[in-house]
Structure 1
Amino acid sequence: MVKTLRLTLIQRGSNWISRYSGRSFSSWASVSLIAVVFLPVLPGLYWEILPVLHMDIWKLFLSNPLLPHALITTAISAILGTVLAIIIALLIAIQLYPGSLWLQLRRRLPLMLSVPHAAFSIGFFFLIAPSGWLSRLIAQVMNWTMPPAWVTVQDEYGLSLALALAIKESWFLLWALSALLNERIVSQQMTIVRTLGYNRWQAWRYILLPQLLPRLGWPFTAVFAYSLSVVDMSIILGPTNPPTLAVLIWRWLTDADPIQQAQGSVAAVVLFLFLASVIFLVRFLWSKLLHSNYYPNGKRVTTRPTSALRLYRPLFWLGYTIVILLIAWSLAGTWFFPAVLPDAFSLHNWLQADFTPFSTSLWLASAVCFLCLPIALIWLEWGPQRYNALIYIPLIVPAMPLVAAQYAALLAWDLDSTIVGLIWSHLLWVLPYMILTLVGPYREFDQRYMTTARALGFSRLHACLTVKWPILIRPILASMAVGFAVSIAQYLPTLFAGGGRFVTVTTEAVALSSGGSRQTLAVQALLQIILPLSAFFIAALIPVWLTRNRKGLH
């Protein structure tokens, strides 16, 4: 009896130890994989912060004559672009949700999101430039033979950059909104409010906005952080003398003079402090607004909202127009002002194009995505999810300080201008986006499938490989497409980590935007669009083929 009891206790103890050690090992493995991506940045941040401790560098930085105007331009373009993006996204959501047009918008969003920022900026420049297509259309009515003088006035405060940021980032905010509005509880609340007699605007004002705005805090922060530190769009659309602070930091950090590099490190810290100050101010104002919020007074407004604010179609038409302009310039021969169309179309520009940046971007983005996918899946399955906010840090802080830290770390370890360093520099930005895309579907997964598989004797890993991940194939492939697009769009990490040895479609397009043939520039911009667009197309096509004989998954 005693012997039997002893054997039972030993067996139960060994089973408990194996389960605990297996869970502990899996958790440590997930944390270790994340640490490989994120921890090497910490020494770089330390080395970057060292110059900040010297007052002489601060005096040099503060006495720079370009600094005041660069700060003003950065503040205006970033704040105005972010505010306009928020207004556009919210107006479209309020006008369309719920309804069939909202479903159409959700289907078209991936197409707009697949257009990289640099390619969008180039097409936007072709539209609003002194000899752009808008001027050419006006010239047909006004009989202009030269671009008008008012168009050639320099945009000193980055207003065109702010407008481009507002349009491009409004698509990202609509994507974030669509994820929240897709939740069942939100749609149920909207139905209840509408059945009580409140119109669409009242339902949004009293019920949805107070719930959604706090949850949109991170997307809003990500948009503002990107607007502060964007370099490629600033080079294409922003003022040049002086440029935005992000472009100044980029110039200083790539300078051979250590004093200039130290000045760039100080400026990167200033950029981060500016972001933190604005976030603190917005949170303070939001807390005051919450105290002044009031409940519905019971009055129903039966009038329908005006259709003057329907920005949905113009916003997408603008995106389509930009892509059409890029195609036209890539096929154009001679195209002199004020002609609306080129004199002739041909494939000469494509036949003479350099496809080396295209192939570099293809293998780089593919390698990064295939490395990020297992890390993301292992983290979501076994990692401590309470630390997800730490993984999203690269999305909500200005990119410039982190890129500078990456560069400092790569220089210290002699990994700059290497394939390993280049791929690692992209992992820091791609992995958070892939996890962010997957975390929603992962949480909504019906765990009863896993319980059934485990009851049949499957290990957790085996159940994931044969049950859970095949069911989640659509969001998994969607996250890979998002990661692929993010990698293609990376400009600063490629420029710093690559050291000029690796030229991608993004770095090539930005370099050509400073001067050269518009036809060649349009070809590279279209190649930059084709890559992520193909990734989204493949991500949509593969699940249809895999589930063609499985009715429940089709």
Structure 2
Amino acid sequence: MLARTLLAALPVLLIFGPLLPGLYWALTPALDTSVWQALWLDAQWPQALRATLISSVLSTVLACGMAAVLATLHYPGPVWLALQRRLPLLLSVPHAAFAVGLFFLIAPSGWLARLVAQGLHWTSPPDWVTVQDPYALSLALALAIKESWFLLWVLAAVLGEQAVSRQMVMGRSLGYSRTQTWALILWPQLLPRLVWPVMAVFAYGLSVVDMAIILGPGTPPTLAVLVWRWLTDPDPAFQARGSAASMVLLAVLLGCVLAARGLWWLAMRQRPYPNGQRKPATGLAWRHLHTPLYLTGYAVVAMLLLWSVAQAWFFPALWPDAVSLASWQQADWTPFWTTLWLALVASGLCLPAVLVWLEWGPQRLNALLYLPLIVPALPLVAGQYASLLHLHLDGTAVALVWSHLLWVLPYMVLTLIGPYRAFDGRLMTSARALGYSPWHACLSVKWPCLLRPMLATLAVGFAVSVAQYLPTLFAGGGRFVTVTTEAVALSAGGNRRVLAVQALLQIALPMAAFGLAAAAAYGLGRHRKGLR
């Protein structure tokens, strides 16, 4: 048993172990008081922090609100089932590609402005600041829409449990409205279970760089972009300032979490005892909130498709004057193939590590695996880079793959842990009673029965690797270009057609992974009812 536990822990140690000294090397320069003085005196610092707080807090609140409203109004029901079916398609759109498509949609020269121009007879784009505004409101909007899909996916997994469904039926049978049942019974139980996903959403908003470059303010940028620029500066003084600012991001995360914890405690203390009154359903005005969420996702992809084939498209024309495949024929496919092999290797290495961890690893340490999801990414990336520099591995393929594993592994564990715990243990008991060894029982019984969730987990890991931006920049040392780094780099230029092609390639890879996983699960379980 000890040998199997050590075997399960070995991959995790190889992924997380080198990070610890790297964090020490990366953050030690920030312990100098002169570094902090230089940080406080930097002219960009206050506005960057303000934009970061606005975008991260506002996006988290909006995402939680939209997910909560949709669940309250539509679970259980046909709209909720339809939403669940569409979520994989929406979630497969990477953050950078979504930001590019939203930019094409809401920019002063975007499609929505062109639509308004048809009625107001504009001949030039309006003087509006709808993207890259100083308060990062457009960035907050993009994050809120994108992360609401993630929270809905988490809610769908939680609401799929039989106990929650029975409680909803019981509450409705006692005469309580759907809204009352949620407020009195379901939300008090579900909210504590959603702490980790909401923390992950907030931490991502604090440290997002790719979306902030595309939609966020320019000068000064958000704090995450400013930290990224300082950490990549050749001047050691600026690198130390970036380390100090990374610690500020951690402090902001901790402060906001403690504040939210305090507000939750106050809300529970002041929560009135149910008086038994039945009230009619409320919030009917928000019943169609899911429609704009769907349409936004579809419109983003449509904008990318239009721009990728547009030959001439001047304002205020609603549609391109001519279409051509020249942008696709002249596209650089090197980032696509680099992203493909990198995502395949990263997800392929993580799947066996996840299986042995969930089978024999110490499950009480799962919270440690989730730390990369709930901690701002910049300090972790800086720690990875410091370790690679000391090991002389920066700019190598091994370093690039290892840098991605730190985020791919937690997401794959999070995806597979539910089906793994729901597996009927009596099947393994029967296999062991028939003389099967633990390894043989897993290979012959348990893992084949979990084939469908394993394929879905593999697709999730693939999509997470495709979307990685900061690890690719730091660990790759500029020698490896993926569709994500290429799309963000092109967003600063003026050729929207080339940018749209790279963004669509970034979307195509995760969609293909989810499609192949679904097709493989169907094909392998076609004649096996239990695997469908």
TM-score (norm 2): 0.99
C-alpha distance after superposition, 1:340-390 (max 9, x if no partner): 000111211100100100000000000001100010000000001010000
Counterpart residue identity of residue 326, structure 2: H
Please say if residues 161 and 237 of structure 1, whose CA atoms lie closer than 8 Å, have aligned partners that are also in contact. Answer: yes
1:5 — aligned with what? none
Q: Mind listing any 5+ residue stretches in structure 1 that lack a counterpart?
A: 1-22
Matched, 1:545 2:519: no
Q: For residue 531 of structure 2, give the secondary structure of its aligned residue in structure 1.
A: coil
Q: Alignment partner for residue 414 of structure 1, among 392, 417, 421?
A: 392
Alpha-carbon distance in structure 1 between the residues aligned to 2:483 and 2:354: 26
Counterpart residue identity of residue 538, structure 1: L
Question: Residue 307 of structure 1: CA displacement?
Answer: 3.7
Matched, 1:156 2:134: yes
1:250 — aligned with what? 228
Q: Alignment partner for residue 425 of structure 1, among 400, 403, 407?
A: 403
Matched, 1:350 2:331: no
Alpha-carbon distance in structure 2 between the residues aligned to 1:253 and 1:154: 23
Question: Residue 302 of structure 1: CA displacement?
Answer: 3.5
2:377 — aligned with what? 399
1:44 — aligned with what? 22
1:142 — aligned with what? 120
Counterpart residue identity of residue 473, structure 2: L
1:282 — aligned with what? 260
2:293 — aligned with what? 315
Matched, 1:180 2:172: no
Matched, 1:131 2:86: no
1:512 — aligned with what? 490
Q: For residue 333 of structure 1, give the secondary structure of its aligned residue in structure 2.
A: strand
Question: Residue 459 of structure 1: CA displacement?
Answer: 0.7
The sequence identity of aligned pairs, in percent, is 61
1:339 — aligned with what? 317
Taking structure 1 as reference, are residues 405 and 412 closer, same or farther at Cα in structure 2, changes over 3 Å only? Answer: same
Taking structure 1 as reference, are residues 303 and 179 closer, same or farther at Cα in structure 2, changes over 3 Å only? Answer: closer
Alpha-carbon distance in structure 2 between the residues aligned to 1:99 and 1:538: 29
Alpha-carbon distance in structure 2 between the residues aligned to 1:309 and 1:235: 34
Question: Residue 533 of structure 1: CA displacement?
Answer: 0.4
Question: Residue 305 of structure 1: CA displacement?
Answer: 4.6
Segment of structure 1 superposing worse, 303-312 or 186-195: 303-312
Question: Residue 48 of structure 1: CA displacement?
Answer: 1.6
Please say if residues 95 and 310 of structure 1, whose CA atoms lie closer than 8 Å, have aligned partners that are also in contact. Answer: no
Q: For residue 516 of structure 1, give the secondary structure of its aligned residue in structure 2.
A: coil
1:26 — aligned with what? 4
Question: Residue 152 of structure 1: CA displacement?
Answer: 6.7
2:430 — aligned with what? 452
Please say if residues 373 and 480 of structure 1, whose CA atoms lie closer than 8 Å, have aligned partners that are also in contact. Answer: yes
Alpha-carbon distance in structure 2 between the residues aligned to 1:304 and 1:275: 34
Taking structure 1 as reference, are residues 152 and 399 closer, same or farther at Cα in structure 2, changes over 3 Å only? Answer: closer
1:234 — aligned with what? 212
Question: Residue 543 of structure 1: CA displacement?
Answer: 1.2
Alpha-carbon distance in structure 2 between the residues aligned to 1:177 and 1:152: 31
Taking structure 1 as reference, are residues 479 and 153 closer, same or farther at Cα in structure 2, changes over 3 Å only? Answer: closer
Q: Alignment partner for residue 173 of structure 2, among 176, 195, 216?
A: 195
Please say if residues 130 and 138 of structure 2, whose CA atoms lie closer than 8 Å, have aligned partners that are also in contact. Answer: no
1:324 — aligned with what? 302
Alpha-carbon distance in structure 1 between the residues aligned to 2:279 and 2:90: 35
C-alpha distance after superposition, 1:448-468 (max 9, x if no partner): 111111111111111111110
Counterpart residue identity of residue 59, structure 1: Q
2:46 — aligned with what? 68
Alpha-carbon distance in structure 2 between the residues aligned to 1:144 and 1:440: 54
Segments ≥4 residues shifted beyond 4 Å: 151-154
Alpha-carbon distance in structure 1 between the residues aligned to 2:128 and 2:12: 52
Counterpart residue identity of residue 509, structure 1: A
Matched, 1:360 2:364: no
Alpha-carbon distance in structure 1 between the residues aligned to 2:197 and 2:129: 34
Segment of structure 1 superposing worse, 472-481 or 297-306: 297-306
Segment of structure 1 superposing worse, 307-316 or 266-275: 307-316
Question: Residue 553 of structure 1: CA displacement?
Answer: 2.2
1:222 — aligned with what? 200
C-alpha distance after superposition, 1:285-308 (max 9, x if no partner): 111111111232111123565144
Alpha-carbon distance in structure 2 between the residues aligned to 1:173 and 1:30: 29
Question: Residue 104 of structure 1: CA displacement?
Answer: 1.0
C-alpha distance after superposition, 1:290-341 (max 9, x if no partner): 1111232111123565144421111011100110110010011010000000
1:477 — aligned with what? 455
1:211 — aligned with what? 189
2:366 — aligned with what? 388
Rg larger in structure? 1
Q: Mind listing any 5+ residue stretches in structure 2 that lack a counterpart?
A: none
Alpha-carbon distance in structure 2 between the residues aligned to 1:532 and 1:152: 29
C-alpha distance after superposition, 1:97-125 (max 9, x if no partner): 00111111111101011000000000000
Counterpart residue identity of residue 50, structure 2: I
Alpha-carbon distance in structure 1 between the residues aligned to 2:322 and 2:169: 55
Alpha-carbon distance in structure 1 between the residues aligned to 2:107 and 2:323: 21
Alpha-carbon distance in structure 2 between the residues aligned to 1:522 and 1:49: 37
Taking structure 1 as reference, are residues 357 and 69 closer, same or farther at Cα in structure 2, changes over 3 Å only? Answer: same
Alpha-carbon distance in structure 2 between the residues aligned to 1:423 and 1:304: 50
| Residues paired across the two proteins, number | 532
Alpha-carbon distance in structure 2 between the residues aligned to 1:82 and 1:466: 43
Question: Residue 148 of structure 1: CA displacement?
Answer: 1.0
Counterpart residue identity of residue 34, structure 1: V
2:95 — aligned with what? 117
TM-score (norm 1): 0.95
1:53 — aligned with what? 31
RMSD: 1.0
Q: For residue 115 of structure 1, give the secondary structure of its aligned residue in structure 2.
A: coil
